[in-house]
Amino acid sequence: MSGAAAECSRAGCRDTAVWAIRWRNPRIHAADRRKTWVACGEHVVYLREFLSARDFPVEVQALVGEAS
C-alpha cells in the first residue's frame, strides 16, 4: 500500500490516526477475533472508554507507519 495514512475512526474526524484500538464484543465475536479501530491523539481516550464502558476487552497500541 502506498502510504495513505489511516484516518481516525471517530465519526466526523479526519485526523491522522496514531493509535490502534483492538477490541472484541464477547457476545458476537469468537475469543480469537479482534476488531481494530484507529484513533487520533484526541479521540483515543473517547473510543477506548466507549468500548470499555460496554465491558469489551480493549487494547491500545501505538500505530506505527505501516497499515495493516
Interacting residues with Zn ion (CB under 5 A): 8, 10, 13, 15, 40, 43
Question: Rounded to the nearest whole angstrom, what is the least distance from the CB of residue 11 to Zn ion in the complex?
Answer: 9
Residue from 30, 36, 33, 64 nearest 48 by CA = 36
Residue number, 15 or 60, with CB nearest to Zn ion: 15
Contact 6, 16 (CB under 8 A): yes
Closest CB 44 distance from Zn ion, rounded Å: 8
Strand 35-39, strand 19-23: pairing: antiparallel
Cell of 33: 477475533
For residues 26 and 41, which CB has a smaller minimum distance to Zn ion in the complex? 41
- Minimum CB distance to Zn ion, residue 64 (Å): 18
